[in-house]
Chain A
Amino acid sequence: MNLYENISSNKRKSIFLIIIFFIIIGFLGYSFGLYIGDAFIGLGFAIIFSTIMALISFYSGDRMILGMSSAMPADRKKYPYLVNTVEGLAIAAGIPTPKIYVIDDSAINAFATGRDPKHASVTVTTGAIKRLKRDELEGVISHELSHVRNYDIRMMMFVVVLVGLIALLSDFFLRTMIYGKGRKDMKGGGIIGVVIILLGLVLAILAPLIAQLIKLAVSRKREFLADADGALLSRNPDGLANALKKIKDDKEPLVEAANKATAHLFIENPLRTFRGSVNSLFSTHPDINERIKRLEAF
């Protein structure tokens, strides 16, 4: 699969995932609506609410993320080294130069966000600028630019928002079921109505977990792909491998401005609290040792 095919396959998968998430959301809304009396009000509410949220995140999600992470625009005069590196690799990737931001933090980390390569930004910690050698920084930046070029940034933005919405709606549904009185005179009720409500209930319990697991699986898969594409972009897998080693051996790898909502964006989990081999269903990133091993095998 060449790069351009990879990009269109990724776009298709994003659409597929979004449809799946919308079906879950629609079903939750429908069965909740059925429970409170009108199935289509519930469905309509869930779909309209999710669409609005998805659109907001599509157009301003990146600004929210940058704000949350206290990222500042990188000045060309102050960070010529970073700016030149990003500009150069953007040329190699054949994408417009993304906006460049820095986070004032001594940990080595970086992330990319945005909705497409024309509206993208790359953020790097000042620790990464100071402590990485040129080829290592190039490795990190090319990993991030691969996320941009492959539309991972858009995909992850949608996935995160929809996962959050599913959690929110499920929670709302369950609370109403437990604490609310409900209606006994359901329109179009009967056995089928009860079954749908029960299914909705089961979905409300399971969906947040499943959606979360999908999100994490997508995130891990995208990290591996961005490592590989990044290595191809910088023509130097060792650069990224060495940067990851530095992050691994770092005494203080935590990025203070990162939180659970933004952790998956970073090149390596900024909330990591323990060392060793971690490659569980619940991690945002693949095991760092495995990533280094794959890069060194190139």
Chain B
Amino acid sequence: MANVVLWSIVGILALIVLYIVLTFNSLIMLRNRVNNAWSQIDVQLKKRYDLIPNLVNTVKGYMKHERGTLAEITKMRSSLISGSMQQKAKANNAISEALKTIFAVAENYPKLEASENFKMLQEELSGTESKVAFSRQFYNDNVMILNNKIQQFPSNIIASMLSFKESEFFQTAEAEKKPVKVEF
């Protein structure tokens, strides 16, 4: 009889240890996924960063009146790859807005609009814009899964024991969530 009780206790303890190990591993996996997703956003922001000088060089010959906007884009560009998550998000939104203006104004310059280089840059920039949005979506999906695990019972006990922190969502302005349409 004593044996049965002893073995039951051992069995239960083993199950608890197993549960802790599995939960710990899945928390680690989820956290790595979040980090990986975050680096995906950085990759896309870096691409935008690299594309902007090309755009500025292509359009500056045509756009005399938009010098201010172009200078602003160039200035904000560095914030895409440095600073906090919030700053990067803000710079990205601001650049998207400024690019919208540039592309809208480009309609007044038929020669510019017709140039292959400009068309390519326009497609690439709107392409990276949606890629930023998609990588942000992937990041936020993963943050949600991680945060659920950290908050839900009973995994929350283990998460707090091992001091796992909830990750922060990548927030954006309402207007930015809509797909950007660039008319050709």
Contact = CB atoms under 8 A, between A and B. Distances in A.
Interface of A: 2, 80-81, 84-85, 87-89, 91-94, 134-135, 138, 235-236
Interface stretch (B80-88, B134-142, B166-174): B134-142
A92 B179 contact: no
Nearest to A90: B134
Nearest to B123: A80
B40 interface: yes
B14 interface: no
B138 A93 contact: yes
Contacts of A84: 123-124, 126-128, 130-131
A89 B137 CA distance: 10
B120 interface: yes
A235 B135 CA distance: 13
Given A2-B145, A84-B130, A91 B179 contact: no
Contact of B137 (A2, A85, A92, A134): A92
Interface string B79-107: 00000000000000000000000000000
B127 A88 contact: yes
Contacts of B130: 84-85, 88
Interface residues of B, number: 22
B181 interface: yes
Contacts of B126: 84
Given A94-B37, A94-B138, A134-B179, A80 B124 contact: yes
A-B complex: 9 closest residue pairs judged by Cβ atoms:
A84-B127, A92-B134, A88-B131, A88-B134, A80-B123, A91-B134, A91-B135, A88-B130, A92-B137
Interface of B: 33, 37, 40, 44, 120, 123-124, 126-128, 130-131, 133-135, 137-138, 141-142, 145, 179, 181
Contact of B138 (A85, A87, A92, A236): A92
Contacts of B135: 91-92
